[in-house]
Structure formats: structure tokens, C-alpha cells
Amino acid sequence: MEDIKNVVELKGVTKDYGDFKLDQVSFTVPEGSVCGFIGQNGAGKTTTIKLMLDVIKADQGEIRLFGENIEKDSAHLREDIGVVFDEMGFHEFMTGRDINIMMKNIYKNWDEEMFFDYLKRFSLPSRKQCGDFSRGMRMKLQIAVALSHHAKLLIMDEPTSGLDPIVRNEMLQIFREFVIEEDHTILLSSHITGDLEKLADEVVFINAGKIVLAGNKDDILEKHGLLKCKKSELEKISEPLIVNVQPGTFGVEVLVNDRKACEKLYPQMVIEPATLEDIMLFYVNKDSKNAGSRTVETD
């Protein structure tokens, strides 16, 4: 069986701002997958994306997109990358028609017919200034642009943040349609973990500039569990299994990194599946006094 290609590869990527450091970041995104890039605000998600897009330069490390080093020919690579940021990147006086004219001169593969089809599908008026658009309309406009030059990789930074649930669900459906084609890949940065549980195949979790978890989403969810017990029972739990401990409604809640092992070792204790939000919160708060000391990475 042919190996799955990695569309995104970061190896030991570091960027030091003095007050914040992206520290030896390494992860991959397989072709044809949706990778959820999660972490709290300020964790390093946007910095990582800017490095991938060659907007800023890394102090050290290597970044490859489609197997090519971005330092060699980032302009060529951008033809196959669609980008959606939290803030709209167009002048507010521009209309959809203006944006179409501009994009025809930027992308060799710009598809005018596809762009106007997306505007109709998203109910976006082509003659109205985009500065008058709602937040949801602005995000849809960026997605229409990203999809209209036949990009193979979508890189999105908090595209659903601040949107109501109906619009968010519409966005997720668009992303699902995009990755139906096997050579289409998405890297989706978000702190809305519920969206990523529905959509993502892979998860990369960054905290304070360092990668905490990286791997298949289902494997990560399968390995972790939320164990609930009395505080007096904590000492029975093997410390290497503990990620972190937090107060619960009737005792304590323990995020464990091997749910199946805990179910065998502690059959009398309640162990529930953990959500991505649980996992993120417990790892972020890992420095509390009851925290375990291990970082987990899945294959």
C-alpha cells in the first residue's frame, strides 16, 4: 500500500520573540485529512500559521508544504494554498466584483465562474462593499476566495470564531465537501473543540509555544479518560497515568492518559470518555499542584 503523503511538515521550528517563544514545533498533516490545530489564545497557533505562509521567518527549523521547503519557492506554493484568517484581508470599500478582478491578477488558476457561484451559494451580493458585511458574510467571502483558485490545502485561523451555531454548521459542511476530494487537505486552527470533534481526522495541540499532543483524533480521544473518584482514592492511581487533577462535583476528576489500563486497574472507579475540550483544559492547567508530569504523543 502506498504511503500517505504529508502535505504539511514542520521539524523543530522555533521563533523567539523574547516574551514568547515557539519552541521546537514539529508535526505533520497527511494529505486528504482535516487537522484541528487547537490551543488557547496566545498559545502559538497564529505564529505557526504565519511561519508556514512565509509571512514571518523562523529562527530555526524546517517547514515543508507539498514536500517542498517554503524558503525555496513560497510564491509558487501559494498557488495551491487557500488562506482564511480571523480578520478579513480586503479593503472595506471593495465589492465582490472588485475582488474578482484583483484575484485574476494574483492567481494563475483563478476560476471566475466558481467564485461567483460561491457568492450566490453564500448569498453574498457581488456589488455591495464588503465593509458592510456581517462577520459571517466576511468569513464566507474569504472562504469563497480561498476555494476559487483550486487550492489543494486550506489553512484557516479561527474561521468559525464569533459565528452563530447555524452559520458555523454551514461552514463545517463546506469544509467537509472540500475534503471529499482525496488530494484536498485542511489545517483548521480553532479553540472551538466541539467543531473539531465533528470534523477533524488529526489533532495538534499547542500550549505556551510547545506541542503537547499530536496524532489521530480518535486515537487521542480513545487513550484519554476522565476518572472520577474521592480525593482519598487519589493515592491509589499510578502517577504515570495521571495528566492532571481538578476538583469535581463530588470529589476530584482525573484526566488519565491510558483509559483502558485504568479500567482494568480501577474497576470500582467511574471512568468516562474525555472530550477534546476536557483534554485541552486539563493539559493547560497541568502546572496546578496535583498535576502529573507526563506529556503524551500519539503515533
Domain ranges of the chain: 6-219, 225-284
Q: What are residue 189's phi and psi, to 5 degrees?
A: -85, 130
pLDDT per residue of the chain (299 residues) written in tens, 0 to 9 = 345 699 999 999 999 999 999 999 999 999 999 999 999 888 999 999 999 999 999 999 999 999 999 887 667 888 899 999 877 789 999 999 999 999 999 999 999 999 999 999 999 999 999 999 988 889 889 999 999 999 999 999 888 877 888 888 888 888 999 998 878 999 999 888 888 998 999 999 999 999 999 999 999 999 999 999 999 999 999 999 999 999 887 899 999 999 999 999 999 999 999 999 999 999 998 743 444 443 444 44
* Alpha helix (H) residue ranges in the chain: 45-52, 70-78, 96-104, 112-121, 135-147, 165-178, 193-199, 217-223, 259-265, 276-284
pTM (2 d.p.): 0.88
Q: What are residue 210's phi and psi, to 5 degrees?
A: -125, 145
Distances (CA, A) of 93 to 52, 123, 141, 203, 269: 29, 19, 14, 38, 61
Listed residue (204, 216, 192) closest to 52, CA to CA = 204
Q: Can you give the pLDDT at residue 274?
A: 96
| Amino acid identity at 154 | L
Q: Can you give the pLDDT at residue 195?
A: 86
Q: Can you give the pLDDT at residue 297?
A: 43
Q: Can you give the pLDDT at residue 23?
A: 95
What CA–CA distance (Å, rounded) separates 40 from 32?
26
Q: Can you give the pLDDT at residue 299?
A: 43
Question: How many other C-beta atoms are found inside a 10 Å radius of the C-beta of residue 46?
Answer: 17
CATH superfamily membership of 6-219: P-loop containing nucleotide triphosphate hydrolases (3.40.50.300)
Q: Can you give the pLDDT at residue 3?
A: 57
E strand or H helix that includes residue 156: strand 153-157
